[in-house]
């Protein structure tokens, strides 16, 4: 099951030439994944994961830029995920502009860690089940 969210490119997202400032796309990725988790978990995604007793810091982020994004463009960001690992889970994102052109592709891998020890721990069962149900 894929999830799609919209994002409008704001003036503050752009460099002086009016083209997306590269680091802002990382925010778009994280925001879209948080919305997806909220959808999957039936409430604020990060709060739900925190209630499961783990923190989900990013382990890897990759972005491939394929088409220019400029001020006032509206993009659709499609989010899906790969099968979960023992302690990590990976999201795949594809963003498209109004013409349907892919503007970027990204992947974000998060790992479940114990809040005190900061060491990886297995995915909580509720998170694993939510991810599996959406496959």
Domains of the chain: 3-133 (3.10.129.10)
42 DSSP assignment: T
Nearest to 4 by CA among 97, 76, 105, 69: 76
Please give the biggest Cα pair distance in the chain.
47
pLDDT digits (tens, 9 = 90+) for 80-94: 999 999 999 999 999
Say what percent of the chain tops pLDDT 70: 99
Say what percent of the chain tops pLDDT 90: 90
Averaged pLDDT for residues 126-133: 92
Sign of CA dihedral 130, 135, 33, 88: positive
Residue 135's pLDDT is: 74
Indicate if the pLDDT at residue 109 is higher than 60: yes
């Amino acid at each position: 099951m894929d999830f799609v969210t919209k994002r409008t490119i704001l003036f503050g997202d752009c460099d002086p030439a009016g083209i997306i400032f590269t680091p802002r796309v990382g925010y778009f990725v994280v925001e879209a994944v948080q919305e997806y988790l909220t959808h999957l978990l039936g409430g604020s995604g990060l709060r739900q994961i925190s209630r499961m007793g783990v923190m989900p810091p990013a382990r890897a982020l990759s972005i491939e830029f394929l088409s220019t994004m400029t001020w006032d463009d509206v993009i659709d960001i499609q989010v899906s995920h790969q099968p979960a690992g023992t302690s990590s889970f990976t999201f795949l994102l594809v963003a498209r502009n109004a013409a349907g052109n892919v503007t970027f592709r990204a992947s974000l891998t998060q790992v479940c860690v114990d809040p005190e020890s900061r060491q990886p721990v297995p995915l909580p069962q509720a998170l694993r089940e939510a991810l599996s149900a959406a496959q």
